[in-house]
Chains A and B, each alone.
Chain A
């Protein structure tokens, strides 16, 4: 909790205000309208400076006495309480002084004042003052005015967040439960519901059938927002029979016609969840809510439409058939914001099927003329994705090829990127079409240029001019961006096997450029190719361009499509941010460090919430220290990132996958000769020192490669890959998977370290983030971390790239004995495990003080 201190206030103004307030206190005895007005102006100034971020905490005494002298002015009181709650957390001593006044106001005649005082009292958020808060709140629950009662109910929630114990001890929960059943005022009941949903967990509350039915029966009395809460509760109810489901749906159907989109979406959630096990009805429900979604899309504000479209995207992805005929509803309007257009195009991509694909692609083609280059590119991308997904490829591919002739750089660029993916999926297309007269040197966008280079290399056998088209790029190798350099290296190597005579020089220049490059990846790839070619050309061909006698392999799917289970996880959190982010809440809500005892975080985990929550409510918020299960909610996992990461990896792999070449046998025979020439070429280029460099590198990496014969090279390399630990950078593991594996595996390695005080302090510093960050540098990632004084707990994971073996690490630090117990579990073979343990210990040594 950091103090909201912005720039320090200029002395002059602060002093002036202070004096002014003091003056108002002195003359406060004479109560007249003028004085009241002057006070109001002064208070307004204070609030204004407070909003600007200046520190006004010092005016506390003056403010309080000033307001106390005009006790009947409600607006003044409100400003004072706003001020107090703002600074209470940073100046608890001063806040203590106002408790008396607040208590007095809780007894006021006016319910508005009572409610205000109660709300402010509960908002002080100072645990030490809790004892002063409980009594008024308890009394407030019995107040004769609903305004005070509903404020008191929210007060209970605030207390509970600070200390569940107190709520338990005072029996406040039972009190609230009674109110929920009895109170005639809908807003009071709604707040009770909100509180109990937080404290007890939705699932447990939803199992109370009588309560839920009574709420549904009076749902029309509630405000829109309270209706959302009731509907949220109903969504978690498990109906006993199909007949009950129909009853509930009938009772709630008119909620779909409410003007408030939040209520509509909450109702949609109920409808979807209720019918999950009834397939036919579920389809009907989708048909029904489809209309509602369409109308929300057409009439809400752009920001709200964005939220609606995110939900539509999820539903369309789940059941594209249902929405197939309604593609027109997702056509863009010229006034739509770009993000709305983008989502609509994503949805159109998902919707495309044989029946509507021509209409959709025709419409998308119109969008390529959009003034915004981003939107136009997005449209081209959508056409490319549709071409990938719809079986009837030919007509669409032709449309995509037409974009190449559009004359607009951004459209041509995006088309090239899409074509590359398309060719990876359908390699046979490579023989069908020509790339026209597009020169890579004329394509400005690096990604697109890399794509074109890839196409030229991969399908070089069909494109006579390929080596000459690449020539200008190779000449300026050093000035190309990194992705283009990588693509150039691969393309030149592939061309070399297809057209050795024309491409020899090209490859030589490329390798020379690559070896001199400062970028590590480029350098490594060049080095790899060079060594491969030097050792054995035919093996090199297998590795780089694939087996020429086998047909080209198609890429069966791309990883940017959301996997089924992730989609299901998101659906389980319908009507929340998860749907917008397309990630389950566990990946973006950081709960281990904030309010570990919240029941809703258990819900976010999507498991066993009902069983756990009441326990944690009673057990003094021990959740944080309560072992792995509660901690496994940390959010360093980011599904989206991992998906992108995987895609990036795939792109690289794509170059190395087997692919056919129509290389004539004669050419293959000529290849070794060419390679021999190549060696000379490289030497001619003044790279004589390369071998010594390689020797040096070999020595570093264990001296394994250089001493072996060329025939064993391939095998050797594989072995080396198997045995050499390479932790995957950016690897992500879902918390669920982690738990499952952790349970399944036996401990492979266990040891105890003793730590000194400085290390202990360093571990806990910055909320444990420093330590986790340190470990992360070694590609060992944090699943969860945290805990307080007697015990810290950490869970880490890592994956070996080549073998896909997992390493899971638990580290429990007992602060009293200063011992760290480390348990490592893994499914890796012994040599890898030993390497990992070595890496792990080195990492820790690097952190120990």
Chain B
């Protein structure tokens, strides 16, 4: 059935229990101890070699790792596994938003009372209840933020807030006030590319998300027009899906603060920001020659930041003579690669790397070099690999009408995901 778990644990990497919240009594603390001794610290296999769902006896463990923490769910039933993992990621998001991004062992230790409070509200008897940060923040207050205010007024505020938690618009509470209304909209795209050694495209897709930060008073309705209808797209729960199906306009009443409005993915009509042409030749047993040329395919007015190209070389490399037309390149023995960094890569231009690699000579027979792929990472501001553009962002507030003015900011950035070229 659709319950998630009988207990939730937070552990550090050694497996020490930081938080224990049991929702049902069919699991005991020993289970978590077993998890530590038999899964986390088992000999030979470290936790990184374990699948995220494990069983010991009739007990199932589902866990994920975040920073230096394990979040672990234990159940004896046939739980809804997808819900369990989604709940754990929602919990991570929730705690991160409480701790301003830093969810780790020390922040858990510092705030364990708060976490217990949240665990109490987010789940009851193994069934998820409410995980929306905006709604929870209105009545579970982080120590140090609100409790130093006048105790009486803050309790009063909390009491009022509770009344709205379970209302229809659970993600936003009414009566918000800002002196100036501001909306920030970021389109963040990750482009994945895999080219074969002959230059054929093996995989090419873009995974994007639209992140928003709203500082808006009252109950505004936002309408976001995009230049194309996306095929594979999912939205935050605040978005009116019916309206999108009909008119392809994203209509929503936003939560307060930062949130992820939508995610999308496309594999058609992608603008690839870079073209990489590698020629890597092995000359006998001790020499290797690599020529890599990288050309930027975006407009001359744009530029890429922090471009790094990793050109792999064999393990037993002794020396590299490298010449580059731009940036800096050097051999990094730990990465087994030549690391070529270009701080600022202008649009519509080409840079080359030429390297002569000499290897240590031995009499022993060597295994052939597996020729791992060249990989590349970069950030291109204001570039959209999917071609997605914001046509308009309209904001209306029913009560204030035309008097409601908002400052709008739109940014775009294209990052490298898995960007690889086989050689």
What is A's interface to B at a CB cutoff of 8 Å?
Answer: 1-2, 4, 6, 33, 44, 47-48, 51-53, 72, 74-75, 78-79, 82, 89, 110-112, 116, 119, 125, 145-147, 150-151, 154, 157-158, 161, 185-188, 191, 194, 197-198, 202, 220-221, 223-225, 228-229, 232, 254, 257-262, 264-266, 291-292, 294-295, 298-299, 301-304, 306-308, 310-311, 328, 331, 333-335, 338-339, 363, 366, 369, 371, 374, 406-408, 573, 575-581, 585, 588-590, 594-595, 600-601, 603-604, 635
- Select which of B170, B260, B370 is within 8 A of A223 by beta carbon: B170
Give residues 233-250 of B contacting A (CB, 8 Å). 233-237, 241-242, 244-245
Assembled-state Cα–Cα distance A480/B117 (Å): 59
A-B contact list, 28 entries, CB within 8 Å: A52-B17, A75-B147, A82-B120, A89-B25, A112-B139, A125-B25, A158-B125, A191-B124, A194-B127, A221-B168, A223-B128, A224-B131, A228-B83, A258-B237, A260-B237, A262-B82, A262-B86, A291-B232, A294-B265, A298-B265, A302-B64, A303-B63, A304-B82, A306-B51, A588-B58, A595-B26, A601-B77, A604-B77
Taking CB atoms, residues of chain B closer than 8 Å to A306 are 51-53, 85
| CB atoms of A225 and B245 under 8 A apart | no
The docked-state distance in angstroms from the alpha carbon of A110 to that of B163 is 10
| A interface footprint on B391-422 (CB within 8 Å = 1, 0 otherwise) | 00000000000000000000000000010101
Mark B300-312 against chain A: 1 for CB-CB distance below 8 A, else 0. 0000000000000
Q: Is the CB of B237 within 8 A of A299?
A: no
Give residues 149-190 of B contacting A (CB, 8 Å).
Answer: 151, 155, 158-159, 162-163, 165-168, 170
Cα-based distance from A154 to B80 in the complex (angstroms): 19
Is B58 a contact partner of A147 (Cβ separation < 8 A)? Answer: no
Q: A74-B155, A111-B162, A603-B1 are in contact. Are A576 and B80 (CB under 8 A)?
A: yes
Task: List chain B residues, Cβ under 8 A from A146.
Answer: 166
Find out whether the CB atom of A588 lies under 8 angstroms from the CB atom of B55. yes
Known: A110-B162, A119-B120, A257-B234. 7 other contacts (CB 8 A): A33-B151, A147-B162, A223-B129, A225-B128, A225-B131, A291-B232, A294-B232
Contact between chains at A261 and B82 (CB < 8 Å): yes
Does B60 make an interface contact (CB < 8 A)?
yes
Query: B28 to A228, Cβ gap below 8 A?
Result: no
Q: Are B78 and A589 in contact (CB under 8 A)?
A: yes
Q: Which residue of A lies closest to B161 (CB)?
A: A112
| A202 engages B1 (CB within 8 Å) | yes
Q: Name the residue on A nearest B85 (C-beta).
A: A304
Contact A259 B120 (CB under 8 A): no
B113 at the interface (CB under 8 A from A): yes
B67-97, CB under 8 A of A: which get 1 and which 0? 0000000011111111101111100000000
A78 and B117 form a contact (CB under 8 A): yes
The complex places the Cα of A89 from the Cα of B231 at a distance, in Å, of 53
CB nearest to A363 among chain B residues: B202
CB-based nearest A residue for B162 = A112
Selected contact of A604 from candidates B18, B60, B78, B375, CB within 8 Å? B78
| Most chain A CB neighbours (cut-off 10 Å) among B63, B86, B207, B232 | B86
Asked if B269 is at the interface of the complex by the 8 Å CB criterion, the answer is no
Question: When A and B form their complex, what is the total count of cross-chain residue pairs whose Cβ atoms lie within 8 Å?
Answer: 256
B20 at the interface (CB under 8 A from A): yes
Given A257-B241, A369-B371: A4 and B63 within 8 A (CB)?
A: no
When C-beta atoms are compared, the residue in chain B nearest to A220 turns out to be: B241
B78 near A187: Cβ-Cβ < 8 Å: no
Please indicate the chain A residues that have their CB under 8 angstroms from the CB of B364 in the complex.
none
CA distance A742 to B253 in the complex (A): 61
Contact A223 B130, beta carbon cutoff 8 Å? yes
> Are A259 and B113 in touch, CB under 8 angstroms?
no
Is A334 a contact partner of B367 (Cβ separation < 8 A)?
A: no
Contact: B155 with A261, CB < 8 Å?
no
Provided the pairs A110-B159, A223-B130, A262-B83 are in contact, do residues A185 and B418 lie with their beta carbons within 8 angstroms? no
Interface pair B29/A197, CB less than 8 Å apart: no
Asked whether any CB of chain A lies closer than 8 Å to the CB of B381, the reply is no
Contact A259 B236 (CB under 8 A): yes
Bound-state Cα–Cα, A291 to B235, Å = 16
Chain B interface residue count, CB cutoff 8 Å, equals 97
Complex contact B420–A334 (CB within 8 A): yes
In the bound complex, what is the Cα–Cα distance between A79 and B116 (angstroms)? 8
**Closest CB of chain B to A847's CB: distance in Å?**
23
Q: Please, how many angstroms separate the alpha-carbon atoms of A719 and B301 in the complex?
A: 89
6 closest A-B pairs by beta carbon, nearest first, are: A225-B128, A590-B58, A585-B78, A369-B370, A600-B1, A303-B52
Residues of A within 8 A of B89 (CB): 301, 304
Q: How far, in angstroms, from A254 to B245 measured CA to CA in the complex? A: 8
Taken together as a complex, chains A and B put the C-alpha atoms of A579 and B78 apart, in Å, by 10
Q: Which residues of A contact B218 (CB under 8 A)?
A: none
User: Distance (Å) between the CB of A260 and the closest chain B CB?
Assistant: 6
Point out the residues of chain B lying under 8 angstroms from A339, CB to CB: 50-52
Chain B residue numbers with a CB within 8 Å of A194 are 2, 127
Most chain A beta-carbon neighbours within 10 Å: one of B78, B205, B372 = B78
A150 to B1, CA, bound (A): 20
Please tell me which one of the listed residues A197, A301, A308, A595 contacts residue B64 in the complex, with CB atoms under 8 A apart: A301
Contacts A334-B375, A594-B76: A145 and B1 contacting too (C-beta < 8 A)? no
B387 at the interface (CB under 8 A from A): no
Nearest chain B CB to A119 CB, angstrom units: 7
Q: Which residue of A lies closest to B260 (CB)?
A: A259
B81 pairs with A157, CB closer than 8 A: no
With a cutoff of 8 Å between Cβ atoms, the chain B residues found around residue A47 in the complex are 112-113, 116
In the bound complex, residues from chain A placing their C-beta under 8 Å from that of B87 are: 225, 262
* Closest A residue by C-beta to B167: A185
Complex CA distance for A721 and B293, rounded to whole angstroms: 73
Q: Are A333 and B78 in contact (CB under 8 A)?
A: no
**Inter-chain contact A232/B166, CB cutoff 8 Å:** no
Residues in B whose Cβ lies below 8 Å from that of A334: 373, 375, 418, 420
Among B29, B232, B260, B265, point to the contact of A4 (Cβ < 8 A): B29
Closest to A359 in B: B202
B367 touches A224 (CB 8 A): no
Distance A194 CA – B168 CA, assembled complex (angstroms): 19
Count chain B CB atoms within 10 A of each CB in A48, A186, A262 and give the residue with the most: A262
Complex alpha-carbon distance, A823 and B370, angstroms: 64
A146 and B168 alpha carbons, distance in the complex (Å):
12
Task: Report Cα–Cα, A333/B419, bound state, in Å.
Answer: 10
Q: Does B284 contact A (CB under 8 A)?
A: no
| A264 nearest CB neighbor, chain B only | B234
Closest B residue to A76 using CB positions: B113
Closest to B233 in A: A257
**Smallest Cβ distance from A602 to chain B, in angstroms?**
10
Q: Are B265 and A150 in contact (CB under 8 A)?
A: no
Please, how many angstroms separate the alpha-carbon atoms of A259 and B263 in the complex?
8
Known: A112-B159, A258-B234. A578 touches B112 (CB 8 A): no
Contacts of B124 in A (CB 8 A): 119, 151, 154, 191
- Is B263 a contact of A301 with CB atoms below 8 Å? no
Q: Which residues of B contact A116 (CB under 8 A)?
A: 120
Contact A187 B1 (CB under 8 A): no
CB distance from B59 to the nearest CB of A (A): 9
Pairwise interchain contact A576-B242, C-beta atoms closer than 8 A: no
CA of A116 to CA of B166 in the docked complex: distance in angstroms? 15
User: Taking the nearest CB of chain B, how far is it from the CB of A724, in angstroms?
Assistant: 35
Q: Tell me whether B262 is interfacial, beta carbon within 8 Å.
A: yes
